[in-house]
Structure 1
Amino acid sequence: MSDRAGESQAAALMAILDLEERDEDVFVGQTPSTERQRIFGGQVAGQALVAAGRTVPADRGVHSLHSYFLRPGDPFAEIRYAVDRIRDGRSFTTRRVVAWQERKGEDVAIFALTADFHAGEKALAQHCLPMPDVARPEGLPGTAEIAARHGERAAWMDAMGRAVEQRFLEDPYDTPPKSPPDTKSWTWFRVAGELGDDAFVHSAALTFVSDLTLLSAGFARLGGGWSDFDGASLDHAVWFHQPVRADDWMLYETDSPAASYGRALCFGNIWSADGTHVATVAQEGLIRSPRD
């Protein structure tokens, strides 16, 4: 990929995460053009985290976020993020963010997030999961190849590919059924281009990407792929263990321990390319047949 193409991808993601401050503790974000009829959940989570971070001292990094998707987002209406400063302690800072959109002249909440920020301290216990031994991203098919292979049903990937570069160990539209104990899936991702050195920008970018493939873990035991189910995120949580660089390759491992009543619980682990376990992700979502 050329430097110019990489710069444009990084710029696309930076534009999504660059919020306008409309009022005190109220921020507005833009939505990129997409083939989808609703807003990508990772976008709202990433923007909400940015809104929270704008009100937090620079020396405190985010260590966890917990969120709920309340209504589908309208990609043609602006999103306003209202921040509630619920705690400013000696070591921890906590923010609650509610995302609002207008529906038929009335403001409705579409998303709610609580994020906690920590000044950091000397570690007593320190350990992490080892990175699995899987193929490296170089040479694996990327977003463009998958989109070209599957045509119209993968058209939305072109828009997403302008912000995030992915490498796939399996074709996400044609995956054989998985069975225990081998139910995990892996994908490499990064923002192509430079995001700069602001650690908080990289945390927000990771939050954005962490919603990309996670819910498909709930469908992995059936086989098939992304076009064989309709999914919607219900909640999403991220724990940040180490500083991340979202413009370097990261490995995303996903799995689902339980699914019932139309819902699937999915977990993810994220490693940097050097094997450092940087984040853990959890999500519950709806999984339905596209024919329902």
Structure 2
Amino acid sequence: MAVTVSDLLSVLRVREGQRHVFSGESLVDGVRRIYGGQLLAQSIMAMGRTVRDAHGLHSMQGYFVHPGDVTKPLRFDVEPVRDGRSFSTRRVVVTQAARVVFMGAASFQAAEGCHERLPATPDVPPPDHMPAEAEFFAREAHLLERRRSHVSTIMQLFERRSEMWRPWLDPGVTAPVNGLWCRLREPCGDDPLLCHAVLAYACDLDLMTTAMRPRGHGTMDRRTRSASLDHAMWFHAPVRPDAWFYYDMTGPCASNNRGLGAGALYQDGRRVGTAMQEGLMRVIEDEAQ
């Protein structure tokens, strides 16, 4: 099912009904379960809409509690925890029909100080020297019809290039290392809050799969069941998700069917963000033993 950047931006702009209570819908892309990055991005927008303009988002974290249903409306209840001169703190609980699907928190800060130390972009080839996602997976494109996946939506919304693509089926055991160039296919404007929300949307997909690479299962492997458990991000500098940024990922550790993914985001030669996520992967064969 085709989705556009306009569809994404419309979904992310949640609507305030009562004070500090927002409503939203989901992208309908053929997958019944809500994509976790959507909940991250919408929560950022809801919490950010309740703070003063001078306070910019610098960190957020959250937990995916229950699978969300794309056919049902979302309610975002934002709690103002603190409104200080320098910092504002918010909590959010996202529900569908009174069932909690996500809960999170975010911190916002007024700009201050002049000291800045941001690591440089890793020494990797530019995006036009790396294989495009659609080109690499052309031989497996039929799998997107057989097993509905949010991968299809990401491919429609973002242009992505990497030297580390691996097949969706039977990729084999590889190191928990990944890296890709990414940019939104159409402009999204210069609203800092929306730009950070779009960045969070893009960053949800690959962290868990990177951490699980040593297990040897591909994204479309029917023997696996996976889900994001939690997600945290830190925003170090302004970013434009409609311009190329590099996402450098590793999977530091795994245990109890959980894998931890860590990602660093770079744009214009410097680090602009950090993301971490823990995800769950169960293998049906393992469960039967």
- 1:1-292 matches, cutoff 5 A: 9-102=4-97, 107-124=98-115, 126-146=116-136, 148-155=138-145, 156=149, 157-173=151-167, 175-179=171-175, 183-228=176-221, 229-272=224-267, 274-289=268-283, 292=287
Partners of 2:105 and 2:153 in 1: CA distance: 28
Unaligned 5+ residue runs, structure 1? none
Distance 2:233 2:212 in 1: 21
Q: 1:230 and 1:153 mapped to 2: Cα distance?
A: 16
Partner secondary structure for residue 221 of structure 1:
helix
The 1:147–1:18 alpha-carbon spacing in structure 2 relative to 1, beyond 3 Å, is farther
Q: Please state how far the C-alpha of 1:118 moved relative to its aligned partner.
A: 0.3
8 Å CA contact 2:137, 2:167 repeated in 1: no
User: What whole-Å deviation, never above 9, does each CA across 1:5-30 have from its counterpart, x for those lacking one?
Assistant: 9xx84313211211122222111122
The Cα offsets for residues 174-199 of structure 1, whole Å up to 9 and x where unpaired, read as 545334xxx42101111111111111
Give the number of aligned pairs.
277
Partner Cα separation in structure 2 for residue 16 and residue 137 of structure 1: 28
Instruction: Give the unaligned 5+ runs of structure 2.
Output: none
Tell me the CA shift for residue 42 of structure 1. Answer: 0.3
Taking structure 1 as reference, are residues 235 and 189 closer, same or farther at Cα in structure 2, changes over 3 Å only? same
d(CA) in 2 for partners of 1:57, 1:118: 10
Residues 121-179 of structure 1: CA distance to partner in whole angstroms, max 9, x if unpaired?
A: 1144x323332222222253434335532134334333333322222323343545334
Cα–Cα, structure 1 residues 277 and 32, in superposed 2: closer, same or farther, change >3 Å? same
- Name the Cα RMSD after superposition: 2.0
Cα separation, 2, equivalents of 1:289 and 1:150: 22
For 1:290 and 1:130, how far apart are their aligned partners in 2?
A: 42
Q: Relative to 1, partners in 2 of residues 1:290 and 1:193: Cα closer, same or farther, differing over 3 Å?
A: farther
The answer (yes or no) to whether the contact 1:230–1:288 under 8 Å persists in 2 is yes
The answer (yes or no) to whether the contact 1:35–1:159 under 8 Å persists in 2 is: no
- Asked if structure 2 preserves the Cα contact closer than 8 Å seen for 1:12 and 1:163, the reply is no
Q: CA deviation at 1:203?
A: 0.6
The CA distance in 2 between the partners of 1:262 and 1:159, in whole Å, is: 26
Name the SS of the counterpart of 1:135 in structure 2.
Answer: coil
Identity, in percent, stands at: 36
The one-letter amino acid of 1:117's match is F
What is the deviation of 1:281?
A: 0.5
Q: Which moved more, 1:49-58 or 1:115-124?
A: 115-124
Conserved 8 A contact 2:179-2:246: yes
TM (normalized to structure 1)?
0.88
